[in-house]
Amino acid sequence: MTGGAVHSPLRDAPDGRLPLPDADVVLGNGLRVVVCSAPVVPLVEIRLTVPYAATEPGEVARCQLLAAVLLRGTAHRDADGYDAALAAHGATLNAAADADKLTVAGHTMADTLPAVLALLAETVRAPRLTRDVVLPEREALARRVRLATHQPAALAQHALLRRRYGEEAAARRQPAPEQAAACTPDDLAELHARHLGARGAVLVLVGDLRPEEAVAAVTDTFGAWEAGPTAGAPEVPSWFPGGPLREVERPGAVQSVIRLAAPALPRTDPGYPALHLAQLVFGGSFASRLVTRLREEKGYAYQLGSGVESVPGASTLMVEADTAAEHTVPALAVIKTELERMAAEPPSVREVDAARSYAAGSTATAMSSPGALASGLANLLHAGVGSDWLHNWGPLLAGVPHDAVVEAAHRFFRPARITGVVVADEAAVAPLRLDDTGELAF
Amino acid sequence: MRTVAAIGQRLALSGHLTRPMLARMIRTQLRRLVLDNGLRILLAPNPVGASVGVAVHYGVGFRTEPEGRTGLAHLFEHLVFQGGRDAAPEGYLPRVQRAGGFGDARTRQDVTVYYAAAPASALEMLLALEADRMRSPGISERTLRTQTAVIDEEIRLMVRNRPYGAFPWVLPRVLHSRAENTRDGYGESADLAAFDVPLCERFFADHYGPGNAVLTLTGAFDPAAAERLVRGHFEDLPARPPVAAPDTHETLPDRERRLTVTDPHAGPHAVAVGYRMPDPVTERADYLAHLVLAALLGQGRQALLRRGPAAAAKVSSLSVGCGLFGLPLDTTGPDLLTLFAVHEGEQGAEDVLASLDGTLEALARDEAEAGLLRATTARWAAGALRELGTPGTRAQLLGLREALFGEAELTLALPELVRTGVTGEQVSRAAARLASSHRAVVRFAPAEAAAGVTERAAREQAAA
How would you classify residue B90: left for phi > 0, otherwise alpha for psi between -120 and 50, otherwise beta? alpha
- Please, which residues 5-64 of chain B have a Cβ atom closer than 8 Å to chain A? 18-21, 24, 46, 48-51
pLDDT, residue A12, reads 45
CB contact under 8 A, A322 and B153: yes
From the list B147, B265, B383, the residue facing A92 with the nearest CB is: B383
User: If you average pLDDT over every residue of chain B, what do you get?
Assistant: 89
Domain limit, last residue, from B201, B234, B267: B234
Contact flag A365-B302 (C-beta cutoff 8 Å):
no
**Each residue of A97-115: pLDDT tens digit?**
999 999 999 999 999 999 9
Q: Are strands A255-263 and A314-324 parallel, antiparallel or unpaired?
A: antiparallel
Query: Within an 8 Å CB–CB cutoff, is residue A403 touching chain B?
Result: no
Q: Residue B94: count other Cβ atoms within 10 Å of its Cβ.
A: 21
Chain B: residue nearest A92 by CA?
Answer: B379
Reduce the secondary structure of chain B to three states and give it as a string. CCCEEEECCCCCCCCCCCHHHHHHHHHCCEEEEECCCCCEEEEEECCCCCEEEEEEEECCCCCCCCCCCCCHHHHHHHHHHCCEHHHCCCCHHHHHHHCCCEEEEEECCCCEEEEEEEEHHHHHHHHHHHHHHHHCECCCHHHHHHHHHHHHHHHHHHHHCCCCCCCCCHHHHHHCCCHHHHCCCCCCHHHHHCCCHHHHHHHHHHHCCHHHEEEEEEECCCHHHHHHHHHHHHCCCCCCCCCCCCCCCCCCCCCCEEEEEEECCCCCEEEEEEEECCCCCCCHHHHHHHHHHHHHHHCCCCCCCCCCCCCCCCEEEEEEEECCCCCCCCCCCCCEEEEEEEECCCCHHHHHHHHHHHHHHHHHHCCCCHHHHHHHHHHHHHHHHHHCCCHHHHHHHHHHHHHHHCCCHHHHHHHHHHHHCCCHHHHHHHHHHHHHCCCEEEEEEEHHHHHCCCCCCCEEEECC
End-to-end C-alpha distance for chain B, whole angstroms: 59
Which residue in A368, A373, A391, A397 has the most chain B C-beta atoms within 10 A of its own C-beta, making it the best mutation to test that interface?
A368
What mean pLDDT value characterizes chain A? 93
Interchain contact, A41 vs B385, CB within 8 Å: yes
- Using a CB-CB cut-off of 8 Å, the residues of chain B touching A214 are none
Q: How large is the average pLDDT for residues B33-56?
A: 94
- pLDDT surpasses 60 at B363: yes
Residue B215 shares a structural domain with residue B261: no
Q: Do A365 and B117 touch (CB under 8 A)?
A: yes
Residues B68 and B108 grouped into a single domain: yes
- The closest alpha carbon to B273, from B338, B355, B347, B202, belongs to B338
- pLDDT over threshold 50, residue B458: no
Collect all residues of chain A within an 8 Å Cβ-Cβ radius of residue B371: 84, 88
Of residues B294, B325, B292, B298, the one with CA closest to residue B400: B325
For residue B449, the model assigns a pLDDT of: 57
Q: Do B101 and A144 touch (CB under 8 A)?
A: no
Note whether B206 and B315 are same-domain residues: no
Q: What is the per-residue pLDDT across A24-77, written as a single tens digit (0 to 9) for each?
A: 999 999 999 999 999 999 999 999 999 999 988 899 999 999 999 999 999 889
pLDDT at B189: 86
Number of folded domains that form chain B: 2
Listed by number, the residues of chain B in 113-172 with a beta carbon closer than 8 Å to a beta carbon of chain A are 117-119, 121-122, 145-154, 156-157, 160-163
Is the domain of B182 the same as that of B300? Answer: no
- Of B234, B249, B268, the residue at which a domain comes to its end is B234
Question: Parallel, antiparallel, or unpaired for β B40-45 and B213-219?
Answer: parallel
| Helix (H), strand (E) at residue A343 | helix A328-344
Q: Specify the pLDDT at position B242.
A: 80
Determine contact: A323 vs chain B, CB below 8 A. Answer: yes
Domain-embedded: residue B215 = yes
CA B42 to chain centre: 19
pLDDT at A167 over 80: yes
* Yes or no, beta carbons of B91 and A298 under 8 Å apart: no
The sign of the CA dihedral A100, A105, A110, A113 is negative
- Residue B162: how many CA atoms within 13 Å on its side-chain side? 17
The SS3 call for residue A325 is: helix
Supply the pLDDT for residue B20: 46
Q: Is the dihedral of CA B142, B143, B149, B150 positive or negative?
A: positive
Looking at residue B170, its amino acid is V
Q: Does B241 reside within a domain?
A: no
**Cβ-defined contact of A108 to B317 (cutoff 8 Å):** no
Among partner residues A79, A88, A109, which is closest to B301 by beta-carbon distance?
A79
Nearest chain A Cα to B97, which residue? A358
Residues 6+ apart with CB under 8 A from A283: A289, A290, A291, A304, A305, A306, A319, A338
pLDDT band at B308 (very low <50, low <70, confident <90, very high): low
Q: Mark which residues 397-436 of B lie under 8 Å from A by CB.
A: none
Confidence label for A89 from pLDDT (cuts 50, 70 and 90): very high
Whether residues B304 and B442 share a domain: the answer is yes
Q: Which comes out higher in pLDDT, residue A219 or B1?
A: A219
Nearest alpha carbon to residue B175 among B96, B320, B275: B275
Average confidence (pLDDT) over A246-265: 96
Q: Is the pLDDT of residue B460 over 60?
A: no
Q: For residue A277, give the amino acid letter.
A: L
- DSSP 8-state symbol, A245: E
Residues of the domain holding B163: 4-234
Q: What is the CATH number of domain A245-440?
A: 3.30.830.10
Average pLDDT, stretch A295-305? 95
Instruction: Say if residues A40 and A208 touch (Cβ distance below 8 Å).
Output: yes
Task: Answer whether A132 touches B (CB < 8 Å).
Answer: no
Residue A172 has pLDDT above 50, yes or no: yes
Beta strands A92-97 and A101-109 are: antiparallel
H/E segment holding residue A80: helix A79-88
What's the rounded Cα separation, in Å, for the pair A25 and A36?
12
Instruction: Tell me the CA end-to-end span of chain A in Å, nearest whole number.
Output: 47
Peptide bond into B89 cis (omega under 30): yes
Please report, for chain A, the start and end positions of each structural domain, with discontinuous segments joined by +: 5-222, 245-440
Task: Tell if the CB–CB gap between B100 and A16 is shorter than 8 Å.
Answer: yes
For residues A12 and A23, the model is more confident at A23
- Band of the pLDDT at B302, cuts 50, 70, 90? confident
- Cα–Cα distance measured from residue A322 to residue B159, given in angstroms and rounded to the nearest whole number: 13
Q: How far is B315 from chain A (nearest CA, A)?
A: 8
Spell out the residues 6+ positions from residue B409 whose beta carbon is closer than 8 angstroms to its own. Answer: B7, B9, B10, B30, B401
Cβ pair A147:B21 closer than 8 A: no
Q: In the CATH scheme, what architecture does the domain A5-222 have? A: 2-Layer Sandwich (3.30)
Q: Are B167 and B229 members of one domain?
A: yes
Average pLDDT over residues B33-55: 94
Co-location of B229 and B322 in the same domain = no
Whether residue A272 has pLDDT greater than 60:
yes
Q: Which residues of A touch B372 (CB under 8 A)?
A: 84
pTM of the full structure: 0.93
Contact A41 B160 (CB under 8 A): no
- Which H helix or E strand runs over A246? strand A245-249
User: Among residues A5, A389, A36, which one has the least CA distance to residue A203?
Assistant: A36
Q: Of A385-394, B28-37, B410-419, where does mean pLDDT reach its minimum?
A: B28-37
Measured in whole angstroms, the distance separating CA B155 from the mean position of its chain's CA atoms is 18
| Residues paired with B446 in a beta bridge | B263
B169 and B266 housed in the same domain: no
Which residues, listed in sequence order, are joined to residue A249 by a DSSP beta bridge?
Answer: A424
- A139 interaction partners in chain B (CB closer than 8 Å): 314
For residue A44, give how far its alpha carbon lies from the nearest alpha carbon of chain B (Å).
Answer: 9
Q: What is the DSSP letter of A157?
A: H
Q: What is the CA radius of gyration of chain B?
A: 23
A301 CB neighbours in chain B (<8 A) are 150, 153
**How do residues B57-116 score in pLDDT, each as one tens digit?**
999 999 999 889 999 999 999 999 999 999 988 999 999 999 999 999 999 999 999 999
Cα–Cα dist B15/B92, whole Å: 46
Tens of pLDDT, residues B223-248: 999 999 999 999 999 999 888 888 88
Choose the mutation target among A15, A40, A80 for the interface with B, i.e. most B CBs under 10 Å. A40
**Are B204 and B268 found together in one domain?**
no
Half-sphere CA count of A129, side-chain side, radius 13 A: 21
Q: Examine the pLDDT at B464 and tell me if it is beyond 50.
A: no
Verify whether the Cβ–Cβ distance A286 to B371 is below 8 Å: no
Determine the residue of chain A that is closest to B447 in CA distance. Answer: A252
Q: Write out residues 1-20 of A within 8 Å (CB-CB) of B.
A: 12, 16
**ipTM at complex level:** 0.93
Whether B120 and B222 map to the same domain: the answer is yes
Among the ranges given (A13-27, A146-160, B271-285), the one the predictor scored with the smallest mean pLDDT = A13-27
Residue of chain A nearest B48, judged by CA positions:
A40
Residue A159, pLDDT score: 96
Same domain, B387 and B279: yes
Residue A136: cis peptide before it, omega within 30 degrees of 0: no
Order across the sheet with B4-7: list the strands.
Answer: B4-7, B30-34, B40-45, B213-219, B51-58, B112-119, B102-107
Chain A residues in contact with B94 (beta carbon < 8 A)? 285-287, 354
Pairing state of beta strands B257-263 and B440-446? Answer: parallel
Q: What is the pLDDT of residue B24?
A: 52
- Residue B51 pairs with which residues in a beta bridge? B119
pLDDT digits (tens, 9 = 90+) for B312-333: 888 889 999 999 999 999 999 9
> A221 by DSSP, 3-state: which?
helix
Our CA-based measurement puts residue A30 at a distance from the nearest CA of chain B, in whole angstroms, of: 31
> From CA A236, how far away is CA A316, in angstroms rounded?
12
Ramachandran quadrant class, A209 (left: phi over 0; alpha: psi -120 to 50; beta: rest): beta
Region B262-289: mean pLDDT is 96
| The predicted structure's pLDDT at residue A9 | 37
Let me know if residue B248 belongs to a domain.
no
**B152 to A299: CB separation less than 8 angstroms, yes or no:** yes
pLDDT (0 to 100) of residue A231:
66
What b/e string do you get for B434-464 counting C-beta neighbours within 10 Å, with b at 16 or more? bbeeebbbbbbbbeeebeeeeeeeeeeeeee
Q: Are residues B264 and B412 in the same domain?
A: yes
CB contact under 8 A, A12 and B49: yes
Q: What average pLDDT score do residues A112-128 get?
A: 97
Q: Which of A221-235, A319-333, B22-36 has the highest mean predicted lDDT (pLDDT)?
A: A319-333
Q: Could you count the other beta carbons within 10 Å of the beta carbon of residue B144?
A: 18
Of the two residues B222 and B189, the one the predictor is more confident about is B222
* Residue numbers in A near B46 (CB within 8 A): 40
Strand partners, B117: B53, B102
Classify each residue of A172-203 as buried b or exposed e, where b means 16 or more C-beta atoms within 10 Å of its C-beta: bbbbbbebbbebebebbeebbeebbbbbbbbb
Question: What CATH number does residue B72 fall under?
Answer: 3.30.830.10
* Of the candidates B3, B139, B141, the residue with the CA atom closest to the CA atom of residue B77: B139
Complete DSSP assignment for A100-138: SEEEEEEEEEGGGHHHHHHHHHHHHHSB---HHHHHHHH
**Residue among B75, B72, B50, B51 at smallest CA distance from B63:** B72
